[in-house]
Structure 1
């Protein structure tokens, strides 16, 4: 699990680095395209399966956002689920 988590951290770091030279408009267009693709996938998949690493990454990224902001995001899970994952992570 730690190896997979390290792999995800490295690949995500490189993914985020590619955003540095992009203009804000380009980032917003990409975000809109990704949101649309997510909505298409949500229509096709009844219940997505998240690995423990997926849960760790999502809860780590989103736990600081207020719940009202989380409810505005297009997510595959409910904000309450994200908060529960974060509490579980802290308990471990």
Structure 2
């Protein structure tokens, strides 16, 4: 159990270091993407509906990210 805790702390430390290396624009775009997805999810409780405008906003924000970072983002829908 102690080894697992040390492993998780090490992984989290590396995530924080990677976050420091990213640009401010990439961080802001990711925050906007996640907030937009949250707004979509809260719009209709049982099952969210995605409009063309939602997909357009998400596609525009995703262009900022590299392919590697784009594959790591948790997306509700593929734009």
**TM-score past 0.5 threshold:** no
Normalising by structure 2, we get a TM-score of 0.36
Q: Larger Cα Rg: Structure 1 or Structure 2?
A: 2
Normalising by structure 1, we get a TM-score of 0.32
